[in-house]
Amino acid sequence: MFLEGEMILDFTLCRRIIDNVSRVIVGKSDVLELVLVALVADGHVLLEDVPGVGKTLIAKALARSFGGLFKRVQFTPDLLPGDITGFNIYNQKSGRFHLKEGPVITNILLADEINRAIPRTQSSLLESMEERQVTIDGTTYQLPKPFLVMATQNPIELEGTFPLPEAQLDRFLLKIHVGYPQKDEEILILDRFQQEDPLCDLKPLADPGQLVCMQQDRKLIRVSRPIKRYIAEIVGATRNSDALRFGASPRGSLGLMRAGQALAAIRGRAYVLPDDIKYLAHPVLTHRLILKEEERLRGGSPENLLEEIVKQVPVPAPTE
């Protein structure tokens, strides 16, 4: 808890939620922290990793920890936009249309294997992710708050997949790799799940309204002028790189600032540090960078290129 102006901001709930989810998810505290960063920053998360590392379990445990609604959609090539947003059904008895809500009407939507759906279906999430609303037959409905899309995609299988368009990728605040557990962690997983699923006993620590309040309070975290300049210089360097066809957009700059505010708050600070920006640059920016074809053929990657950019951009001095 800390003081900012005359308002007391309490983000200790975030640490308690992380600890609560850790009762189910073993050894992924950094991943859980980044997911909470996205939630507090009112963003969305793209989880890219092999099957079976706990992506779905993270989403379920997070929703249960703050008492939010959780819905899961398995994306397939035959999935239609209406299967996500919902549609109107005509009732012959009443002579009226009735709305059948789609799974997007929730707090946490798990879009499982999102790159298996056709682009038209993928694009049906754009309005929901950006404007927190959904339009069905000309009528607009506001989504519940908070609203978080957690999408997963398998980086190995390419057959039968449709790469996410740049406009869709740009709407994900963070792209996170979960990774395999260490040997000791895997043994602990076996112990923990031997008798029963710990998710069944997970209790809520908050309600959705408290998360919405934290999203508002996050805006009060101080971002100094040198930090804003540091963000702009990193993002600007991606646009001026000879190895990139396209750099990060202004949405990337805003995302980096919002994520920095959320990370600072979760770690108990009322201000953003340069180290927060350096730590978040990769999950916030790499999926927004598009390599030139010749750079890709030489074996380059957005991750390596961004690492070099962050090393080259001068870090603001503490006294600035």
Q: pLDDT tens digits for 167-203? A: 888 899 999 988 888 899 889 889 888 878 888 888 8
Same domain? 161 vs 173: yes
Q: Is residue 282 in a domain?
A: yes
Same domain? 264 vs 294: yes
Which segment, 80-89, 110-119, 160-169, 220-229, is predicted with the most confidence on average? Answer: 220-229
* CATH number of the domain where residue 292 is located: 1.10.8.80
Q: pLDDT tens digits for 264-312? A: 999 989 999 999 999 999 999 999 998 888 888 888 888 999 999 999 9
pLDDT reported for residue 225: 95
CB 129 within 8 A of CB 91: no
Same domain? 184 vs 124: yes
Same domain? 39 vs 162: yes
Interstrand relation of 148-153 and 244-246 (parallel, antiparallel or unpaired): unpaired
Which residues, in sequence order, are CB contacts of 103 under 8 Å at separation 6+? 71, 72, 73, 84, 109
Same domain? 211 vs 82: yes
* CATH number of the domain where residue 133 is located: 3.40.50.300
Same domain? 49 vs 174: yes
What's the number of domains the chain is made of? 2
Same domain? 180 vs 263: no
Same domain? 45 vs 81: yes
Query: How much is the average pLDDT of 3-27?
Result: 75
Q: E strand or H helix at 110, and its extent? A: strand 108-112
Same domain? 213 vs 248: no
Q: Is residue 74 in a domain?
A: yes
Same domain? 53 vs 176: yes
Domain that holds residue 26: 7-192+205-218
pLDDT reported for residue 3: 45
Q: Is residue 144 in a domain?
A: yes
Q: Is residue 164 in a domain?
A: yes
Q: DSSP assignment, residue 203?
A: P
Query: How much is the average pLDDT of 26-40?
Result: 92
Q: Is residue 197 in a domain?
A: no
Q: Is it the case that residue 107 has pLDDT exceeding 70?
A: yes
Which residues, in sequence order, are CB contacts of 275 under 8 Å at separation 6+? none
Q: Is residue 106 in a domain?
A: yes
Q: Is residue 319 in a domain?
A: no
Q: Is residue 2 in a domain?
A: no
Q: pTM of the prediction? A: 0.88
Which residues, in sequence order, are CB contacts of 131 under 8 Å at separation 6+? none
Same domain? 270 vs 126: no
- Of residues 70 and 197, the one with the higher pLDDT is 70
Please report, for residues 39, 220, 230, 311, the alpha-carbon distance to residue 207 in angstroms, rounded to integers and kept in the order given.
13, 21, 36, 41
Same domain? 309 vs 210: no
